[in-house]
Chains A and B, each alone.
Chain A
Amino acid sequence: MSWRRHLAKLVALFRRPKTVDDLQEEILVHLQMEEQENLESGMSPAEARYAALRRFGNVALAQDRSREMWGWNGAETLWQDIRFGLRQLKRSPGFTAVAVLTLALGIGANTAIFQLLDAVRLRSLPVSNPSELTVVRLADLPGRRGSQETVYPALNNPLWEYIRDHQSVFSEVLAWSPTNLGITEGDHERLLQGLWVSGDFFKVLGVQPVIGRLFSSADDQPGCGASGVVVSYAFWQSQLAGDPHAIGRTLTIGRHPVPIVGVTHAGFTGPEIGHSFDVAVPICSQSAYWRDGNWLNSSTDWWLTVMGRLKTAIPCPWRMRVSNLYHPPPLKQAFARTTPPRTSGTTCISNLRPIQLRGVSPGCVIRTRIPFGCCWGSRLWCS
């Protein structure tokens, strides 16, 4: 087929050429002419008509073929099929309802499963270079005493502080823990999604403030009290109406008036994928907000998830003994009284194991992306 015919058909798609509309009339005229000629040659009227039709051949076929030349038959048939299908559906509403419902449920289920997969497996943390983050956890948990306060691998505060001050494998470290914080507004109180964060938390994750400032290590000093709160972008928008002068306004958290010091940028939803946070407060203020328990000096409250960025890249999968973290004193404390001495002479020392670093496989811990085929096994400890 030449390009001229293609072009003609393309134009015909948008503007139906008159010649096709005229086709029926044209063929009718043709038949009349032939009939007239036959009459003149002395045939009877019926004979003349019949002879003309015979000479012409199949009228409907000729019309169809001519139309096909303009390449519309496919589209016209499709349109007819669609209309036929709709009529059939209208005729049997029961069947239609079942079919539509089945499709709806199927699509819905697929979407739900994908969302789950997306949150757990495909998305990474909304922070800078999430794949560099590494979680610090105890190599061996049996014999550990106290209470686990978070679903994530956790250390206690003395251990965290020891690691922060003595470690040498990370360029930067941070600690955090999810929590609920009660906020008082007038007469009523409600719970917010809160985060305990170490002073460097936002800096290490590369989170920037929209307004105000985020915490620094100066905010996370012993005895800091209820000194300040950082709120999320979503909280700022929904609860503070995006007030540009929100800095310095106070929130009443656990009956303490706490000034807002900053708002995180919109993309940061917290260290847990699938859970957002409203407010973040420094770890050092835990004892101020929670009057019924001071976890800061406790070796038996396991509540802080410690993460860091390694100085050197390490291939996956890996486990690493961190030599300078071997037998850290706070660990001794944490385990010391847990194991009953079996015989005099062997003490609990057998429980002291090095702290291990685990490849990000943040999949589980912080539920960021698991590189497929890499660190896969490390998700075992998340369940």
Chain B
Amino acid sequence: MDRIELVFGSLDMLILRTLRWGATHGHGIAKSIERMSEDTLKVEHGSLYPALQRLQQEGWITAEWGVSKNNQRAKYYRLTALGRRQLVSETSRWERFVRAVTGVLRPAESEESQ
């Protein structure tokens, strides 16, 4: 399957979005992004970790050690109230961006259909 590279800056948003369903560990976040995008988005698991540090510094997520389903010690990330607000504003910005790009691209199609 042909995978698409992430647009710069969108990883933060995807991580925040994933954490909306509850706290999870790095592996869980990676899997969840893959699953939600139906394996279209290519996320190198390693690239999550710098992003996770950054989000912590911003105060959008917090980290805590916990125990996974398989009784394994793992670090769980949790969305903060600040992160939740950030997600809302990021999402609306993203939607505006997508709408704008789509708006630019669409006229070509509509001209053909006329």
- The residue of chain B having its C-beta at the shortest distance from the C-beta of A32 within the complex is B72
Interface residues of A in 26-43 (CB under 8 A from B): 26-27, 29-30, 32-34, 36-37
Query: Contact residues of B with A, CB < 8 Å?
Result: 25-27, 30-31, 44-47, 49-50, 52-54, 56-59, 63, 65, 68, 70, 72-75
A29 with B73: CB separation less than 8 A:
yes
Known: A29-B25, A36-B70. A58 touches B58 (CB 8 A): no
B53 with A70: CB separation less than 8 A:
yes
- CB of B15 to closest CB in A, whole Å: 14
B45 with A56: CB separation less than 8 A:
yes
Residue A62 CB within 8 A of the other chain: yes
Known: A29-B25, A33-B27. A69 touches B46 (CB 8 A): no
Interface-facing stretch out of A2-10, A128-136, A231-239: A2-10
Known: A2-B58, A5-B57. A62 touches B68 (CB 8 A): no
B45 with A57: CB separation less than 8 A:
yes
Interface residues of A in 327-356 (CB under 8 A from B): none
Seed contacts A5-B58, A25-B73; 11 additional CB < 8 Å A-B pairs: A5-B54, A9-B57, A23-B49, A26-B49, A27-B46, A29-B73, A30-B26, A33-B74, A55-B45, A63-B49, A70-B53
- CB of A38 to closest CB in B, whole Å: 12
Q: Give the top 6 A-B pairs by smallest Cβ distance, nearest first.
A: A62-B46, A57-B46, A69-B53, A8-B57, A57-B44, A65-B50
Query: When chains A and B are docked, how far (Å) is the Cα of A29 from the Cα of B75?
Result: 9
Contact of B72 among A19, A29, A69 (CB under 8 A): A29
Residue A88 CB within 8 A of the other chain: no
Which chain B residues border A61 with CB–CB below 8 Å? 46
Known: A4-B58, A29-B74, A69-B53. A56 touches B63 (CB 8 A): no
A30 with B27: CB separation less than 8 A:
yes
- CB of B42 to closest CB in A, whole Å: 10
7 A–B contact pairs at CB < 8 A? Answer: A2-B58, A26-B75, A29-B26, A29-B73, A33-B25, A33-B72, A56-B45
What DSSP secondary structure best describes chain B's contact surface? Answer: helix
- CB of A73 to closest CB in B, whole Å: 12
A59 with B46: CB separation less than 8 A:
yes
Which chain B residues border A55 with CB–CB below 8 Å? 44-45
Query: When chains A and B are docked, how far (Å) is the Cα of A59 from the Cα of B26?
Result: 14
Known: A33-B27, A33-B72, A56-B46. A4 touches B54 (CB 8 A): no
Query: When chains A and B are docked, how far (Å) is the Cα of A313 from the Cα of B52?
Result: 75
Contact of B27 among A2, A22, A34 (CB under 8 A): A34
What DSSP secondary structure best describes chain A's contact surface? Answer: helix
Residue A68 CB within 8 A of the other chain: yes
- CB of A316 to closest CB in B, whole Å: 63
Contact of B53 among A19, A27, A37, A58 (CB under 8 A): A19
Residue A66 CB within 8 A of the other chain: yes
Which chain A residues border B74 with CB–CB below 8 Å? 26, 29, 33
- CB of A63 to closest CB in B, whole Å: 7
Known: A4-B58, A33-B72. A66 touches B50 (CB 8 A): yes
- The residue of chain B having its C-beta at the shortest distance from the C-beta of A64 within the complex is B50
Task: Mark contacts of A252-291 with chain B using CB atoms, 8 A cut-off: 1 yes-contact digit, 0 otherwise.
Answer: 0000000000000000000000000000000000000000
B45 with A69: CB separation less than 8 A:
no
Which chain B residues border A26 with CB–CB below 8 Å? 25-26, 49, 74-75
A66 with B75: CB separation less than 8 A:
no
Which chain B residues border A57 with CB–CB below 8 Å? 44-47
- CB of B6 to closest CB in A, whole Å: 13
B63 with A62: CB separation less than 8 A:
no
Which chain B residues border A37 with CB–CB below 8 Å? 31
B75 with A68: CB separation less than 8 A:
no
Known: A55-B45, A57-B47. A69 touches B54 (CB 8 A): yes
B50 with A62: CB separation less than 8 A:
yes
- CB of A23 to closest CB in B, whole Å: 7
Contact of B49 among A9, A25, A33, A62 (CB under 8 A): A62
Task: Mark contacts of A227-247 with chain B using CB atoms, 8 A cut-off: 1 yes-contact digit, 0 otherwise.
Answer: 000000000000000000000
B50 with A68: CB separation less than 8 A:
yes
A66 with B68: CB separation less than 8 A:
no
B27 with A4: CB separation less than 8 A:
no
